[in-house]
Amino acid sequence: MNKRKLIVRSVLGFVLALFSLLLVIILIWKSWQKDLPSPFELANIEPWLGSRIFSADGQPLKDFYIERRTLVPLKEIPPHMVDALLSTEDKRFYNHWGVDLIRVPKALLVNLREGRWAQGFSTLTQQLARNLFLTRKKSLARKFKEILTAIRIERSYSKDEILEMYLNQFYFGRGAYGIQAAAQTYFGKPPLELKIEECALLVGLLRAPGRYHPLRKPETAVRRRNLVLQNMVKNGKLSKHVADSLIKLPLKLAAGYDETGLAPYFTEMVRRNLEALYGPEALYKNGYSVYTTLNARLQKVAQEAVFSTIDSLQKRMERTRSPKDPAYTMLVPETTRVGGKLKIGKKRVYKKLQAAFVALDNSNNNILVLVGGRDFDQTKFNRVTQAFRQPGSAFKPFVYTAAIEAGYMPTDTVEDAPIVTDLPGASEWRPQNIDHKFWGAVTLRRGLAMSRNLVAIRLMQMVGADKTVECAHRMGITSPLKPFPSLAIGTSDVNLLEMVSAFSVFPNKGIKFESPPRYLLRTENKSGILLERYDTTSRKEVLDAQTAYLMVNLMSSVINSGTAASCRRAGFKRPAAGKTGTTNEFSDNWFIGYTPQITAGAWVGFDDKTSIGENQTGASNALPIWTKFMLAAAQSYPNKDFEVPDGILFQDVDPETGELAGDGCPERVQEVFTEKSAPTERCRKHR
């Protein structure tokens, strides 16, 4: 009886213990369930994808990312990459269901013998599970979660799909996530072009990218690469003869990923806009493809024009200015070693001249190129859009446009004579021409071509400062303008982009795009589906076509025979018009000009408004940038003249009187008029 009771108690105890064990397992399982990926998460594994910015012709400009990654299908990954990976990380990958039951006991025996965690037994699927859903914290609980997640992944995906996910997910060092980014970063090529030894190096990096960094630790990286090659031999994926020859090869690495990109000031402008539209998380994780208006070829031309010109000006400034001159130098921190100790002090260095350049396509208001400064890594301040500076004489076309609208003609004369006037809150103002001379009666054409300050000031007095302000704003100047007499020579701050945009009204026959210059074309999601298209088709007439053409014709004289004539001497022969600009004290140099197809502008100066130097003008410093760019850009466009609208007449006149040339006139020039304003009387002075 006692024996039977003992058996019953033993059975009950065993059942109770088994039930308790099962209960504990169920409770542990339930507690772990919340940490394991749901079926939905498993079915929708999507790695973070940065957004890529493209030029108008599809050239990549810049990636914005948290993890720099571009997905590639397995068919675009070379077989020897897969062979190297499986030979090193999981040689029975195609024969297990997420856990390698042969590898587990072997690893446990090694670890018990060593008394430490000396060998792991994670399969590729386990590594993927850990990378996607778990932490790297070493614990028994995490290992079980890893195994369970790996089994779930194997049930949800094929082996090839798992392999593709793995090679697109993992970090290879130097900011490269996935095989595509790694191949470009280390070897400057797509994955399919990778050689066997290059694949071996990349596989070797997966274990610890920092430990095997090929630039910092080349010898360690080579040893690791060679180990992978030997693994391929052991696994029957590579002959010993081939491996021995590859082991002898040195590392050949590419320069790496260019973080700055082709047009950094432009792409930074794009980034800010996209963050405002979609939010930073979407921009950095959702893999958008953003197509912009930038012309990559012309951007390279513009950057070369800016950098070569500004470098030459910088060298000239440093040759002519004392290294101790506080106006042209500044103190920067300097660390030196004195007697074995570091000493922090300061040293004086030359200030850096800056420059900016932007060009618009007249037909669609697209920004073709944008250079916001000489060094984006040093300063991200965009001098095309963020720098507000006095335009100097580059503002004068707005004065002349207001005059043309008021009925003045190119042959009308204005006195180039002294002016004395009072400015609000200041003493009397006595403006001067750059040469401090007075030419007497000067035609509007000559006054603009030769940039006579006193002619522009007096002309604005005759037309009205308020009308000049209204005209400038109507054409696209958005900055506030003070209607003082000095406005005529550009004393109100503006930025380069609004000036170039306003000037584009002239070649566009008085038509202005109602939206700001466009730099985005369209945004697509990672599947290539269109999210948004950015159109700027709305436009309106802000100048009469005849007025616009008269101004084009007047401003052509600036280039043909005026302050910008050096452009012609440099070899630019296409029809063009524009205006130089130089401010008081020579602190800002401008040139804004246009052809029938492109309007572009250049600015040169110091950020702190230091004078560039005596007689340093827009013609000498900004115009060369514009000319270099236009010489190259013009090759992409047909050679055509500005279109003449209806109602425009060309007549021969006496250049001295502006009246119709007669037989007695010593010289005659062809001048442009509207039908309503054309002169009818012959020259009375030379009858």
pLDDT at 26: 59
Give yes or no for a contact between 490 and 581, defined as CB atoms under 8 angstroms apart: yes
* pLDDT over 80 at 632, yes or no: yes
Integer Cα distance of 115 and 138 in angstroms:
16
139 phi/psi in degrees, rounded to 5: -160, 160
pLDDT at 29: 58
SS (H, E, C) 341-369: EEEEEEEEEECCCEEEEEEEECCCCEEEE
- If pLDDT is split at 50, 70 and 90, which confidence band does 163 have? very high
pLDDT at 471: 98
Integer Cα distance of 687 and 258 in angstroms:
72
CA angle 672, 675, 681 (to 5 degrees): 80
Task: Please tell me what DSSP assigns to residue 668.
Answer: -
Burial of 227 (0-12, 13-18, 19+ CB in 10 A): middle
Integer Cα distance of 669 and 443 in angstroms:
13
SS (H, E, C) 285-319: HECCEEEECCCHHHHHHHHHHHHHHHHHHHHHHHH
Task: Please tell me what DSSP assigns to residue 122.
Answer: -
Integer Cα distance of 414 and 456 in angstroms:
9
- Among candidate residues 87, 89, 154, 498, the one labeled active-site is 89
Counts of helices then strands in the chain (DSSP H, E): 23, 20
Host H or E run for residue 224: helix 218-234
Integer-rounded Cα Rg, in Å, for the chain is: 36
Q: What is the pLDDT of residues 2-15, one digit of tens each?
A: 666 666 666 676 66
pLDDT at 1: 54
Q: How many CA atoms lie within 13 A of 36 on its CB side?
A: 20
Give yes or no for a contact between 126 and 147, defined as CB atoms under 8 angstroms apart: yes
660 phi/psi in degrees, rounded to 5: -55, 130
pLDDT at 23: 65
Tokens of 226: 């060679």
pLDDT at 566: 97
pLDDT at 351: 85
Give the least confident one: 115-129, 301-315, 337-351, 431-445.
337-351
Tell me what the mean pLDDT of segment 456-467 comes to.
Answer: 98
Burial of 257 (0-12, 13-18, 19+ CB in 10 A): middle
* pLDDT over 70 at 456, yes or no: yes
* pLDDT over 90 at 196, yes or no: yes
254 phi/psi in degrees, rounded to 5: -80, 175
Integer Cα distance of 231 and 208 in angstroms:
17
Q: What is the pLDDT of residues 318-333, one digit of tens each?
A: 888 878 777 777 777 7
* pLDDT over 60 at 137, yes or no: yes
Sequence-separated (6 or more) residues with CB below 8 Å from residue 363: 597
Tell me what the mean pLDDT of segment 611-631 comes to.
Answer: 95
The average confidence (pLDDT) of the chain is: 89
Domains and CATH numbers, the chain: 73-247 (1.10.3810.10), 647-687 (no CATH)
- If pLDDT is split at 50, 70 and 90, which confidence band does 341 have? low
DSSP strand pairing (51-54 vs 289-292): parallel
Dihedral, CA atoms, 341, 343, 349, 354, nearest 10 degrees? 100
List the one residue out of 258, 369, 259 whose CA is nearest residue 305: 369
Q: What is the amino acid identity at position 200?
A: A
Tell me what the mean pLDDT of segment 256-265 comes to.
Answer: 84
* pLDDT over 80 at 338, yes or no: no
Q: What is the pLDDT of residues 74-127, one digit of tens each?
A: 999 999 999 999 999 989 899 988 787 776 666 566 555 655 554 566 888 888
486 noted as active-site residue: no
List the one residue out of 353, 404, 361, 398 whose CA is nearest residue 379: 353
Integer Cα distance of 254 and 181 in angstroms:
12
Higher pLDDT, residue 675 or 53: 53
Integer Cα distance of 611 and 321 in angstroms:
12
Helix 623-633 and helix 296-320, axial crossing angle in degrees, nearest 10: 150
Integer Cα distance of 501 and 429 in angstroms:
31
Q: What is the pLDDT of residues 535-591, one digit of tens each?
A: 877 899 999 999 999 999 999 999 999 999 999 999 999 999 999 999 988 999 999
393 noted as active-site residue: yes
- If pLDDT is split at 50, 70 and 90, which confidence band does 17 have? low
- Among candidate residues 51, 87, 122, 393, the one labeled active-site is 393
* pLDDT over 80 at 666, yes or no: yes
Sequence-separated (6 or more) residues with CB below 8 Å from residue 221: 201, 204, 205, 212, 213, 214, 251
Burial of 444 (0-12, 13-18, 19+ CB in 10 A): buried
In the chain, the percentage of residues whose pLDDT exceeds 90 is 65
Task: Please tell me what DSSP assigns to residue 389.
Answer: B
Give yes or no for a contact between 450 and 427, defined as CB atoms under 8 angstroms apart: no
In the chain, the percentage of residues whose pLDDT exceeds 70 is 87
pLDDT at 118: 46
Question: What is the C-alpha end-to-end distance of the chain, expressed in Å?
Answer: 153
Give yes or no for a contact between 617 and 366, defined as CB atoms under 8 angstroms apart: no
Integer Cα distance of 126 and 107 in angstroms:
15
89 phi/psi in degrees, rounded to 5: -105, -30
Tokens of 269: 């402008």
Tokens of 681: 């009387």
Helix 196-207 and helix 178-187, axial crossing angle in degrees, nearest 10: 120
Higher pLDDT, residue 356 or 349: 356
List the one residue out of 217, 218, 244, 220 whose CA is nearest residue 230: 244
Provide the 3-class DSSP secondary structure of residue 439.
Answer: coil
